[in-house]
Structure 1
Amino acid sequence: MPPSRASAAPTPAPARDASAHEAPSEAARQDQDQGDQDRDQALEPDAVGAWDAYRRLHQLVDTEVARDLEQQSGLSMPDYEVLAALADMATPDSCIRVRRLAAHLHWAHSRLSRHLGRMEARGLIAREPCERDGRGDDVVLTAEGREAYDRATPGYRASVRRHFSGPLSTDQRSALVAIERTIRQTLAGRDAH
């Protein structure tokens, strides 16, 4: 015979969540504050459009110029950037250390070190003791690296002209330079603090 309902043990009432009636925690308040700040700092539609245009332009032009450079000279865009920086920075009275070159290129030190290793294996650059102070290695263009840079430069410039500067008016190019300068100065001011 089944047990009667009266003799069954009572079902315990569900436990109440005490936190449901408590004030929000500090973490919850911070999350809410962050959400308010994010809404306050949302990009205006024209800012979103400008950012998207910058990203597309950067990717599109870099891809086209890099493709031309690779086809015409066998150099990658990072190869060319390093060779150009070394050619630009070289002076008889200073050493070009990896850290200084990384800062010039705005690359991470580790990225540059790995890339220099690949370029050194191909004979484009060398790392030699700095004769001026004897404290570290100087990154230098080899004769082969200088020749590769000199051979690649006319095609590189023609590609930049074809894919970037040629379609723009003088005013448009000047506006881009002014925009870059404003952003660079803003970032430099933040880094100074």
Structure 2
Amino acid sequence: MTKGLDSDRHTAWRAYIEASQRLFTRLEDDLRVASGLSFADYHVLVLLSEAPGQRLRMGELAGRLVFSPSRLTYQISSMQRRGLVTRAPCPDDGRGNEAVLTAAGLLTLREAAPHHLHSVRTHLMDDLDDAEVACLTRIFTRLGQRLTGANDTAATATAPGDS
């Protein structure tokens, strides 16, 4: 049988789950009102805007977003219909595709960013002191690295031909 959490860890876990869900919902609601973008739309636009040539291979983008390939295909198709991104063959590998940021997508991101950053500050960052920000950074950097490593380990454990 799995060992339970002690009282302090249970309280911390529940506080994290409930507050993180409320925070995500608030940030996404604010983003939708200000720009019409979902959180996933915004994240795709940010990642593409930061990438060389404002383009990323679909597999790399899926990994960075922590999306399944089918979820990314749906996301990019939705954004493509709105003119925010396009799909193009990879120049160095004709078998793969890349998501490419359009001028309209970049403009949409530039218009949405100040509103989104205001929301992030209002609902999270302005309530934290420097030590709390440093603590959150340490915790989530370490957790992200560990979870990424666990995903990499699981991916390499698949049978040949499965990937």
Give TM-score, length-normalised by structure 2.
0.86
Work out the CA distance in 1 between the residues paired with 2:78 and 2:139: 34
Q: Which residue of 1 aligns with 2:159?
A: none
Q: Which residue of 2 aligns with 1:67?
A: 29
Amino acid at match of 2:33: Q
State the SS of the aligned residue for 1:96.
strand
Q: Structure 2 matches for 1:30-45, cutoff 5 A?
A: 37-38=1-2, 41-45=3-7
Q: Structure 2 matches for 1:142-161, cutoff 5 A?
A: 142-161=102-121
Pairwise CA distance, 1:189: 4.6
Amino acid at match of 1:61: L
Q: Structure 2 matches for 1:71-150, cutoff 5 A?
A: 71-88=33-50, 90-92=51-53, 96-150=56-110
Runs of 4+ off more than 6 Å: none
Pairwise CA distance, 1:82: 0.9
Q: Which residue of 1 aligns with 2:161?
A: none
Query: CA RMSD for the aligned pairs?
Result: 1.8
Pairwise CA distance, 1:61: 1.1
Post-superposition CA distance 1:122-174 (Å, at most 9, x none): 11100012223333222101111111011100111011000010011111111
State the SS of the aligned residue for 1:71.
helix
Mark the structure with the bigger radius of gyration: 1
Pairwise CA distance, 1:188: 4.1
User: Structure 1 residues 66, 129: CA separation in 2 closer, same or farther (over 3 Å shift)?
Assistant: same
Amino acid at match of 2:44: V
State the SS of the aligned residue for 2:93.
coil
Q: Which residue of 2 aligns with 1:179?
A: 139
Work out the CA distance in 2 between the residues paired with 1:66 and 1:91: 27
In structure 2, list runs of 5 or more residues that go unmatched: 155-163
Work out the CA distance in 2 between the residues paired with 1:162 and 1:78: 20
Work out the CA distance in 2 between the residues paired with 1:144 and 1:54: 36
Count of residues in Structure 1 that have an aligned counterpart in Structure 2: 153
User: Identical aligned pairs, as a percentage?
Assistant: 36
CA contact (8 A) 1:95 1:130 kept: no
CA contact (8 A) 2:48 2:55 kept: no
Aligned equivalent of 1:164, options 109, 124, 138: 124
Work out the CA distance in 2 between the residues paired with 1:178 and 1:189: 16
Amino acid at match of 1:91: P
